[in-house]
Chains A and B, each alone.
Chain A
Amino acid sequence: MIDPELSARFEELDAARAFGDLSPEEHAEWTRLQEEQGFTPDVELDLLVAGLTTSLGNLDAKPSDQLLQRLEAQTVRFMPLAAETSKPVEAEVIPFWRHPALGWAAAACFALVLFVSSEESPTEPSLTDQRQALLSEQQTVQLSFAGTENFSGLEGDVVWTDDGQTGFMRFNGLPANDPTAAQYQLWIVDPERDERPVDGGVFDIPAGQEEAIVPIRATLPVNRPVAFVITVEKPGGVVVSKQEIVAAIAQRG
């Protein structure tokens, strides 16, 4: 039996949530009413507020040319990376969905960084050479990847430079994925920048390859990454990972 007074109170708090102005005390009450009374948030209110914002607002500010350039550069990075690979071997595509959920070892929250396409012009050095060159730079850090339980055969490392905001991941034994079923996604953990890890975008490991090198070129600044975490996600990746399958972690000591 629904108590009409409590229901009305929840609706009002839910409207406040849609406006984005719940106080901490009101939020506690909103949560308690959900738990105790079984009320559910009305997501239509969010759509209504968004509609009012876009329909009534004077939303004609122009983004800077610099931002538009960043956004356009980002579009080419949405496509999954094709890793540079070598030494074809017989390999089986691993059905990730059969792996049990694994714990998340690294930090707190999420934001967004995307990989740059790995397409190379004929004159561009190979990823192997680029990685080697980066390794020779003084400020470059090199961290080893440790595979989690179901990825224990994995070896690899990440090389990264804070100054250059670029890096490479190298994998041996990371199972090939079927991109229509699941894709790998990189998360860069940088507590100095944000409590949420930066989404490093998705990438694929083709079947029949032994070693794969995947470039990292963050489009959002990362101050000082303390860990690089590889998860397995649905095709296209996710905005916020549930961290159900963690494949590998590389951490600063």
Chain B
Amino acid sequence: MVPRSETDPSVEEILPRVARREPQAMKQCIDQFGGLVWSITRRYVRPDTEAEDVVQETFAELWQKADRFDAARASASTFIGLVARRRSIDWLRRKQRRPELEPLPDDFDQKLGASTDPLPRIDTESLHAALQELPTEVRELFELHFTGGLTHPEIAERTGLALGTVKTRLRRGLLTMRALMARANPEPVSS
């Protein structure tokens, strides 16, 4: 099922409005996506007091980078999810004192348009279409990870698979999915 927000032009228009610094746009962004950002952040960041700080950082970054959102590349929720994950993983990296563990280029969003093999617009519809083509055992791992929010060790414990197997299947599944979506891209998005 495609979330209502992805089919609602007024929702998809929120980030461009934030970029134009329209009054009330940021408040509407928080109202619409606050739950999404909070949910993603809680998957990585505990306790809640720390998670609240990361949510604030995420919305501050959205304020600064709203102009990078390209509706032709992804839905607003995907873009916001990208920023929320990035801030959360960055928090984890700092907390674990592993300085170079998760480097994402600061200009990551600028590089999205530079791919030689670009993907079609990433939204629920295109993702579900590609998911159907994945082998069942990989799709099940995806569901445990993305739907259930389980970490890789938790998936290994739940399924009885070796941790290395879980990691390898998820990684290769992601690459397969990327290839499937690139193949399905009728018109490469110009950057």
Contacts and interface: CB of A to CB of B under 8 A. Distances in A.
Interface residues of B, number: 77
B89 interface: yes
Interface in A237-253: 237-240
Determine the interface band of chain A, counting residues with CB < 8 A from chain B: 35 or more
A98 interface: no
Contact of B57 (A43, A53, A111): A111
Given A19-B174, A109-B94, A112-B56, A59 B40 contact: yes
A19 B40 contact: no
Nearest to B48: A64
A12 interface: yes
Nearest to A15: B171
A169 interface: no
Contact of A51 (B112, B115, B118, B127): B127
Given A15-B175, A45-B178, A54-B77, A112 B60 contact: yes
A56 B131 CA distance: 10
B143 interface: yes
Interface string A103-138: 000000101101000000000000000000000000
A199 B60 CA distance: 10
B12 to A, nearest CB: 13
Given A51-B78, A112-B60, A56 B143 contact: yes
Q: Which of A45, A50, A55 has the most CB of B within 10 A?
A: A55
A109 to B, nearest CB: 7
B38 A67 contact: yes
B115 A44 contact: yes
Given A21-B167, A54-B36, A75-B30, A67 B52 contact: yes
A224 interface: no
A45 B52 CA distance: 27
Nearest to A60: B35
A48 interface: yes
A129 B59 CA distance: 33
Q: Which of A18, A63, A236 has the most CB of B within 10 A?
A: A63
Interface in B90-143: 92, 94, 98, 100-106, 108-109, 111-112, 115, 117-119, 122-124, 127-128, 142-143
5 A-B pairs closest in CB distance: A59-B39, A50-B82, A54-B81, A56-B146, A15-B171
Interface of B: 3, 26-27, 30, 34-40, 42, 48, 52-53, 55-57, 59-61, 63-65, 73-75, 77-82, 84-86, 89, 92, 94, 98, 100-106, 108-109, 111-112, 115, 117-119, 122-124, 127-128, 142-143, 146-149, 152, 167-168, 170-172, 174-175, 177-178, 181
Given A20-B85, A57-B40, A64-B52, 5 more contacts: A47-B82, A47-B119, A50-B122, A57-B39, A68-B34
